[in-house]
Amino acid sequence: MVEANTTVADLRTQFGNELTESSFRDNHRVHVPPEKALDVLTWLKEQRGFDMLVDITAVDYLEYPDATDRFHVIYLLLNMTTKERLIVKVPVNLPDAALPSVVPLWKGADWMEREVYDMFGIDFIGHPDLRRILMPEEFTTFPLRKDYPLKGFGERHNFPVLTRAES
Amino acid sequence: MPLELSEVSDPIAADQEYLWTLNFGPQHPATHTTLRLVLTLDGEKVVGAVPHIGYLHSGFEKLGEHLDFNQYVTIVDRMNYISPIANELSWHHTVEKLLGIEITPRCKYVRTIFGELMRLHDHLLNVGAVALDLGAFTAFLYAFQQREKIYDISEYASGQRFHSSYTRVGGVLFDVNNDWVEKVRKFVREFKPVHAELHRLLTRNRIFIDRTKGIGVLTPEDANNMSVTGPLARASGIVRDLRKDEPYLAYKDFDFKIVCARGGDCYSRYVVRMQEMLESIKIIEQAIENIPAGPINIDAVTDITLPAKPAVYRSIEGLIQHFEVLMPNRGFPVPLDEVYGATESPNGELGFYIVGDGTVRSYRARTRPPSYIHFAIFPHLIRGHSLSDVVAVLGSLNIIAAELDR
């Protein structure tokens, strides 16, 4: 796990000191401002061999104690040669929650970004096909946001009903 | 034979009038679960496939924010219901990582045995179902008979055959006894001849090979780029197994191999799964004879595990402990931090990203579901093959819709 620390140190010489790092158990995290996210991820893939994107997810910190940003988009990266893992956290805020898409870097990001968009309403600019994936097209809100109640807003009643003749 | 990809992915050809659209699913015997594919066909040749998912979406991750670490295990069970305990292991592995708990050696061994039994469970179903979709019914029945025995083993330990909800934070629901050990030994003994029979039925079967070899080829570069893990990645020649790379539970203690193949096609995936079953049996054989003595749960004074029922009924300390853990305003201390933990589930890397906010509920419980990530590569795999290969490729990916949609 010494490896991860040198990666973060190199990142900071490359992209400046706004990049902070933190770690917990065996997870190493680097916090990157949104405008530098794509550059950092590209650099990590091309210069540091993080050739696999394990997952993209997001967390809504609306009710979290001492949180400063509304969302964090979390990229879990893995270097398949050294088996090193690194977590890149990017803060995103409303009203225009958007990040550049990483589909050009990792094709696997396609459905992951679609799910984050579907659940949190974070746009990924440059994504080839950003549509809802798990929720129906008629859905208007984003269910994993913290201001969305567990039982929903009653959208189910507004869904169009197909009769047998129409189907 | 697969066609040249450049020939069919030509954008001008895709607009031709002779192309027709076929709706595959959501209810179709070969999808096994509820998912839908819109296929664009040129005669029998698939030139495009658009998956539509979400039919089984039931908001598991939202529920995870409202149930505590022990309650959510019943939901996790229902993700990949083909190998339920493998999901529980992964969930509680991550929870214990968040809380900083080291489980007892006995618990590690019991969980390892269940982890491997679940691998057999999943691979048996997959091998059987692939054979069934391609017209070989016998192999399916042989595989299912063995799955019944694994159900019995899990019923004996947890009280439930299917959704066992067996693990708990810091331990498991019930300790195992000698009868259970004997049951597992008997299963291992009886499994090997059946496995050999499956081999004889399928591995050199001319029809099976014709239907699977060279179909749905995934190159190692694409596998990495598309986040593919587990048996699918290993069938493409990627040497990656979390049991070896990031050893958890008791996997460090056992002698086993990572099974890989170079083909990357449906046949290689079948071969990898068949061989992995033998490796799993090897692990179970070593583990079952060496289960350490001692407590299965971590010490109850740490406020994390539930005390044993006799202690609750017969002593005031046990009763207090029971309420300390269960009452909503008590519970155990949870750090204000977040952690990603993953295990090698039968389908690939199953990970959880848990954010703790100091309460006994997770603030966010993200699942990294292997089925979801593997289904995303389906359009890439099927392009250029014929319509009848759809079921072969779909089967070899082992898509479990409950895990796909959560």
Q: What would the mean pLDDT of B289-306 be, rounded to a whole number?
A: 79
User: Rounded CA gap, A14 and A11, in Å?
Assistant: 5
Count of Cβ atoms closer than 10 Å to residue B155 Cβ: 14
> Smallest Cβ distance to A52: which of B227, B364, B375?
B227
Q: What would the mean pLDDT of B242-259 be, rounded to a whole number?
A: 89
Contacts of A103 in chain B (CB under 8 A): none
For residue B355, the SS3 value is strand
* Subunit contact B61:A60, Cβ cutoff 8 A: no
User: Rounded CA gap, B183 and B137, in Å?
Assistant: 28
For residue B258, the SS3 value is coil
* Subunit contact B372:A115, Cβ cutoff 8 A: yes
> Smallest Cβ distance to B368: which of A55, A60, A106?
A55
Phi-psi region of A79 (alpha: psi -120 to 50; beta: other; left: phi over 0): beta
Residue of A nearest to B371 (CA): A111
> Smallest Cβ distance to B366: which of A57, A65, A132?
A57
* Subunit contact B336:A65, Cβ cutoff 8 A: yes
Q: What is the pLDDT of residue B179?
A: 92
Q: Are B180 and B157 in contact (CB under 8 A)?
A: yes
Q: What is the pLDDT of residues A47-89, one digit of tens each?
A: 888 889 999 999 999 888 888 889 999 999 999 888 888 999 9
Q: What is the pLDDT of residues B121-141, one digit of tens each?
A: 999 999 998 998 888 888 899
* CB-based contacts of A114-122 (< 8 A; 24+ apart in sequence): A115/B372, A116/A56, A116/A57, A116/A58, A116/A73, A118/A142, A119/A58, A119/A143, A119/A144, A119/A145, A119/B61, A120/A58, A120/A60, A120/A71, A120/A144, A120/A145, A121/A97, A121/A145, A122/A58, A122/A71, A122/A73, A122/A92, A122/A97, A122/A98
Most B CBs within 10 A among A87, A107, A114, hence the mutation to make, goes to A107
Instruction: Locate A15 and state its tokens.
Output: 């992209």
Name the residue among B302, B358, B313 with its Cα closest to residue B333.
Answer: B358
Q: Are B374 and B231 in contact (CB under 8 A)?
A: no
Q: What would the mean pLDDT of B326-331 be, rounded to a whole number?
A: 70
pLDDT band at B301 (very low <50, low <70, confident <90, very high): low
* Subunit contact B222:A115, Cβ cutoff 8 A: no
Question: How far are the Cα atoms of B10, B48, B49 from residue B22, in angstroms, in the given order?
Answer: 20, 10, 9
Q: Minimal Cα–Cα distance from A154 to chain B, Å?
A: 15
Q: What would the mean pLDDT of B204-220 be, rounded to a whole number?
A: 89
> Smallest Cβ distance to A52: which of B224, B363, B375?
B224
Which range among B63-77, B224-238, B322-336 shows the weakest confidence by mean pLDDT? B322-336
Q: What would the mean pLDDT of B365-385 be, rounded to a whole number?
A: 90
More confident residue, B7 or B188: B188
Q: What is the pLDDT of residue A5?
A: 62
Residue of A nearest to B54 (CA): A134
> Smallest Cβ distance to A83: which of B245, B357, B368?
B245
Q: Minimal Cα–Cα distance from B318 to chain A, Å?
A: 31
Q: Residue A159 gets which letter from DSSP?
A: S
* CB-based contacts of A121-128 (< 8 A; 24+ apart in sequence): A121/A97, A121/A145, A122/A58, A122/A71, A122/A73, A122/A92, A122/A97, A122/A98, A123/A96, A123/A97, A123/A98, A123/A99, A124/A98, A124/A99, A124/A100, A125/A98, A125/A99, A125/A100, A125/A101, A126/A100, A126/A101, A127/A101, A127/A103, A128/A103
Q: What is the pLDDT of residue B13?
A: 54
User: Rounded CA gap, A106 and A75, in Å?
Assistant: 11
- Residue B388 dihedral angles phi and psi, to the nearest 5°: -70, -15
Q: Are A92 and A73 in contact (CB under 8 A)?
A: yes
Interface of B with A in 289-348 (CB under 8 A): 335-340, 342
> Smallest Cβ distance to B364: which of A25, A59, A76?
A59
* Subunit contact A51:B224, Cβ cutoff 8 A: yes
Contacts of B357 in chain A (CB under 8 A): 63-65
Contacts of B338 in chain A (CB under 8 A): 24, 27, 59
Question: How far are the Cα atoms of B265, B293, B388 from residue B178, in angstroms, in the given order?
Answer: 43, 12, 49
Most A CBs within 10 A among B239, B366, B372, hence the mutation to make, goes to B366
Q: Which domains does chain A have, with CATH numbers?
A: 4-158 (3.30.460.80)
Q: Are B92 and B73 in contact (CB under 8 A)?
A: yes
- Sheet with B348-356: strands ordered across: B338-345, B348-356, B362-368
Q: What would the mean pLDDT of B282-299 be, rounded to a whole number?
A: 88
For residue A61, the SS3 value is coil
Most B CBs within 10 A among A57, A81, A141, A153, hence the mutation to make, goes to A57
Q: Residue A160 gets which letter from DSSP?
A: P
Q: What is the pLDDT of residue B317?
A: 83
